[in-house]
Amino acid sequence: MLREYATDAMSEFLEMGGYAAFVWPAYGIVIVVLAGLLLVSLHRLRRNDAILTGLEAAHPRRRRNATAVSEPAPPSAPEIAGTDR
């Protein structure tokens, strides 16, 4: 009896007053797209961080010498990336 009532309530909820074909896809698409965008962004951050760590570990001398040696000093080495314009 209670189970029947619960099942009825559940199926009524899922039917969305006959508009299930519009309401559920809307919620599904939003969740999938937002989660996907988050995963893609996190993956890209991890990859870039790994590459950067590798570059800095492989050439620790580079960053100090770059400004000291080469004649027109490159704009304040990587500390503020993106300012050199």
Partner 1 sequence: MPLQGYANPAQFQRLARIILPWSAGVTAVSLVVGAVLALLLSPPDYQQGETVRIMYLHVPAAWMGLFIYTSMAVAAAVGLVWKHPLADLYCRAVAPVGAVFTALCLITGSLWGKPMWGTWWVWDARLTSVLLLFFLYLGYIALVNAFDDPTRGERAGGILLLVGVVNVPIIKFSVDWWNTLHQPASVSRLGAPAVYHTMLVPLLVMTLAFMAYYLTIAIIRLRAELAGRRIQTLRLLMIGGDWVAPPPRPAPRVEISDHDPDAMAQRHGPAAWTATTTLNHPHSQAAAPVIPRS
Per CB under 8 A, residues contacting partner 1 are 13, 16-19, 22-23, 25-27, 29-30, 33-34, 37-38, 41-42, 44-45, 48-49, 51-52, 55-56, 59, 62-63, 65-66, 69-72, 74, 77-85
Nearer to partner 1, 8 or 59 (CB): 59
What are the distances in angstroms from CA 22 to CA 12, 13, 44? 15, 14, 33
Helix (H) / strand (E) containing 18: none
Q: List, in sequence order, the alpha helices (H) in 16-77.
A: 20-58, 60-69
Q: How far is the CB of 61 from partner 1 (least distance, A)?
A: 8
Separation of alpha carbons 68 and 63, rounded Å = 9
Nearer to partner 1, 3 or 61 (CB): 61
Q: How far is the CB of 7 from partner 1 (least distance, A)?
A: 17
What are the distances in angstroms from CA 66 to CA 4, 22, 51, 62? 75, 59, 20, 6
Q: How far is the CB of 26 from partner 1 (least distance, A)?
A: 5
